[in-house]
Structure 1
Amino acid sequence: MAVSETPPEPAGAEPVRSERTRETLRVRYKDLMPRFIVGVLLIAIAIFGGWQGGLFFNFLMGIAALLVFREWTRMVGTTAGNDRMVGFIGIGAAVVLGNDGLVMYGFAALAVAAIWYLFTDRRAAMGILYAGLPFMCLIWLRYQENGFGLIVWTLAVVWATDIGAYFSGRTIGGPKIAPAISPSKTWAGLAGGMFAAAGVGVLNDFIFQLPFEAVHAAALGALLAVIAQVGDFYESHLKRRAGVKDSGHLLPGHGGVMDRLDGLVPVSILVASAVWFIGQ
């Protein structure tokens, strides 16, 4: 019996494969440039605002919180019209009180707005806490000793998580974490985000002389990378329930403000809690 041979590849097969590889990479990273440009601008604004502190930083936090609440109410299908103004007023009052150094009264203003919504629209009550609490935590962190360093450390961990997860996930690929909720999130992406967050956590801890030991900064950075991914999954869950791809269209390459800040929401709360606990 004659042994069959594998037919030789036609001439030009290698260039075809190379072209397919390049095309695959172009598809994987098609949104890289707008993401990069918008990301750099947001990072620059956030760092400058954190450095300035005071009124300017609180104003940025207030704008971010109001935009997140607006996207929440639109996406989740909660209260609209005049009823939505209660949330805007509550967030605005919280930021104004924070600007006067009365941050705890700012938290109280958020609580009052959330309690009001409990009697009218419980989903909006959750939206008030989701939108207002993390940014009030950032305002509180800025008033602490070495507040600028704490702000940069918190933001840098979230950014490192996003960047590490983006490149490792799209380059390595592999098994998905929860495809029913977020089909693009992989275990490789999570590992890359944790590694990047741990490294950035140690680096910024050294630069700003924060109250963390190096090993604790690395461990906390890696843990917060997981928490940031949980925040990402939660927002993906909300979008799936709403039947939308993005929370909005304000940021090219990113979608809405919630799409950009979903990981920061739980991370800022946990960092503020950790700093408060260490200070006790």
Structure 2
Amino acid sequence: MKELLVRTLTGVVLIAAALLAVIQGGNVFAYAVAAIATVMFYEWTRIARGWGAAWYVGGFVYAVLPALALLWVRERDAHGLELLLWIFLVTWSTDIGAYFVGRAMGRRKLAPSISPGKTVEGLFGGLAAATLVGGGWALAMGLGHPLLILAPLFALTAQAGDLFESWMKRRAGVKDSGNWLPGHGGILDRLDGLVPVAVLTALAQLSGVT
């Protein structure tokens, strides 16, 4: 219970800080995104230490691409704020849905060799939560019906991003990417699902889907 309380309180603070930066936009949001991308790259290099130069280059791309995507979405047009919030809502609801459904109903292991705590039931819980929350937000804000389909698809990529980071940590023999966030670990531990959702949303916007 204490662990859940710490995790919840930290999550609330993180969400509040993210929303403030997103709503403010401009330089405030740009500086926040740049700072987070820097920490992401730092954590990546700690995990991938000794894996070779290609992993460092990959870490730079991994940190920079979602940062550019978030900045692009926020400033692209009049619906940038609403679409950016959609990105966060899909990612957060995926994570929260998977966590609580997995704890309450999880029986079948999703990828035991990579992340023993993740379950198939949690996967579907995350997809359902993202579909409801992301779809509801898209309809309420008039963002377009394609996002109703993209919400569960991007939620799936968010969980794939989570598994990828878990694989990296298992290979490196570490539990968390850092210890900055009580109950959560490091920045990568919180943003591994956001990375693909942000990049794919920006690509969808560029292609005219959203």
Query: Any residues of structure 2 matched to 1:182-197 within 5 Å, and which?
Result: 182-197=115-130
- 1:177-199 residue CA offsets vs partner (Å, 9 max, x unmatched): 11000101101001110000001
Shift of 1:279: 6.5
2:65 aligns to what? 133
Query: Any residues of structure 2 matched to 1:175-214 within 5 Å, and which?
Result: 175-210=108-143, 212-213=144-145
Percent identical across equivalent pairs?
46
2:34 aligns to what? 62
- 1:25-73 residue CA offsets vs partner (Å, 9 max, x unmatched): x5xxx52111111111111111111111110000110111000000001
SS in 2 for 1:184: strand
Q: How well do the aligned residues superpose, as a CA RMSD in angstroms?
A: 1.6
Shift of 1:208: 2.3
2:151 aligns to what? 221
Query: Any residues of structure 2 matched to 1:94-105 within 5 Å, and which?
Result: none
Greater CA drift, 160-169 or 218-227: 218-227
Alpha carbons of 1:240 and 1:33: their partners in 2 closer, same or farther (altered >3 Å)?
Answer: same
Shift of 1:132: 1.0
Shift of 1:218: 2.7
Is 1:35 equivalent to 2:35 in the alignment? no
Specify the code of the residue in structure 2 equivalent to 1:167: F
CA distance in 1 between partners of 2:209 and 2:111 (Å): 37
4+ residue stretches of structure 1 with deviation over 4 A?
none
Shift of 1:125: 0.3
CA distance in 1 between partners of 2:125 and 2:173 (Å): 29
Alpha carbons of 1:279 and 1:179: their partners in 2 closer, same or farther (altered >3 Å)?
Answer: closer
2:191 aligns to what? 261
CA contact (8 A) 1:142 1:150 kept: yes
Shift of 1:171: 0.3
CA distance in 2 between partners of 1:279 and 1:244 (Å): 39
Specify the code of the residue in structure 1 equivalent to 2:120: W
CA contact (8 A) 1:38 1:253 kept: yes
Specify the code of the residue in structure 2 equivalent to 1:53: G
Query: Any residues of structure 2 matched to 1:217-256 within 5 Å, and which?
Result: 217-256=147-186
Specify the code of the residue in structure 2 equivalent to 1:205: A
Specify the code of the residue in structure 1 equivalent to 2:90: V
Counterpart selection for 2:103 from 170, 179, 184: 170
For the pair shown, the structure with the greater C-alpha radius of gyration is: 1
Is 1:74 equivalent to 2:46 in the alignment? yes
CA contact (8 A) 2:138 2:148 kept: no
Alignment length, in residue pairs? 209
CA distance in 2 between partners of 1:132 and 1:185 (Å): 28
CA distance in 2 between partners of 1:132 and 1:207 (Å): 31
Higher relative contact order (CA 8 A, sep 6+): 2
CA distance in 2 between partners of 1:234 and 1:65 (Å): 18
With normalisation by structure 1, the TM-score equals: 0.72
CA contact (8 A) 1:38 1:252 kept: yes
Shift of 1:223: 0.9
CA contact (8 A) 1:176 1:187 kept: yes
CA contact (8 A) 1:231 1:263 kept: yes
With normalisation by structure 2, the TM-score equals: 0.95
Alpha carbons of 1:279 and 1:185: their partners in 2 closer, same or farther (altered >3 Å)?
Answer: closer
Alpha carbons of 1:155 and 1:78: their partners in 2 closer, same or farther (altered >3 Å)?
Answer: farther
